[in-house]
Structure 1
């Protein structure tokens, strides 16, 4: 009936080969997990959708983040949003590494605003070991780039 005949064994072999290629390509990625009040806007200049976890290839990356959280003084208070401008995280990841971004404890609106002015966070791997990373504001990033150009 059909001009194309393929045996079940050839189909299974082709399917297995395709699946192994697909799985191999994803097995080298590192995973970046975020707290609820951080959102990734872009990775290496490429916009991303808002998910809790993001896959990164091994190597050096610049991750654009945005902080946002709501603070209420009492139960009757509807709350006040604290939002940052873009924050930039530079880090180098290894293959198949699972990383967690950890913010300092920010219990008040004043602490959140202080964090936005002078951001600090910790990046840890699956064993809880700190991973070298730097976070900076947009102004800090531009000043750093200009300093590198002048060298």
Structure 2
């Protein structure tokens, strides 16, 4: 399974905004410079997070982004879904019923495809694990110096 780089970007930006706090919004340009990312593409990821209710945005010269809710209420799965969409990673197209399998009796296909079932179980476990971890959990396990450095750079005072 491979997720787009926007997931990593979104997660790191959310973590940064959590450390900075909500005193001042942080612009796309500042976030892009902090991580050495292309601002236009990063902004698309941030806007997806706004649409999902994870971030809020303030327009204008002094505008930017803030977390829309506390870090303990933002799961890693929330961010993944906002960026990648809600669709299942694996889609079974029932190729077992094509080609040579097309002539097999229908009773052979009454049970769900074993491969699709296994992939579904694995994806559900993955989604549950990401849904069980919040930004607050990540904040708690991050090196304190990383949080302090981020706050100093952006001028934030939050936890």
Tell me the TM-score normalised to structure 2 length. Answer: 0.23
Tell me the TM-score normalised to structure 1 length. Answer: 0.24
- Report the structure, 1 or 2, having the larger helix content: 2
Pair member with larger Rg: 1
- Report the structure, 1 or 2, having the larger strand content: 1
